[in-house]
Copies of this chain bind each other. A is one copy, B any other.
Amino acid sequence: MDDRKSILAEFIQKTWNDGDVSAVPDFLARRYTIHSDPGDPWEGQTLDIPGFQDRLVKSRAAAPDQRFECVDMIAEGDRIAMTWRWSGTHLGDLPGLPASGAPIRMTGITVYYFQGNRLCGHWQNADRLSVYQQILAAGQGA
């Protein structure tokens, strides 16, 4: 159980925080399913390793300095639920929201699914409404 928590923490650090695409094969199962992730362009899809690497690169482009800070992990069976805080700078375009340079913050919860010690999917909810509001407020000089 704690092994998987360490693996998940390392995965978040190397891939989402550091953007190290080459680390993806060390952590992922052959198939990774995005069960639910409203607003994520890959929601509902099952990705192979190159597909996940493509998602990582494109997702990080909107805020290349992004940082996930893990707050808590709750593990049972083959799942770990992780509460997190996220911060980054809006330096790349999002749908309907061209790069603004705005600093943005949000919270979220992700449930990660494991096959053995490898990640095979997630269900995620994040405070995307607040992200939109922060970017729109920055654009209005508010």
Contact = CB atoms under 8 A, between A and B. Distances in A.
Interface stretch (A10-18, A24-32, A56-64, A72-80): A72-80
Contacts of A72: 79, 111, 123
B111 A125 contact: no
A109 interface: yes
Interface of A is mostly: strand
A107 interface: yes
Interface string A97-138: 000000000111111000000000001111111101000000
Contacts of A89: none
B81 A111 contact: yes
Interface residues of A, number: 29
A81 B79 CA distance: 10
Interface string A43-79: 0000000000000000000000000000110111101
Given A125-B125, A127-B125, A129-B129, A107 B38 contact: yes
A57 to B, nearest CB: 24
Nearest to A71: B123
Contacts of A75: 74, 76
B127 A109 contact: no
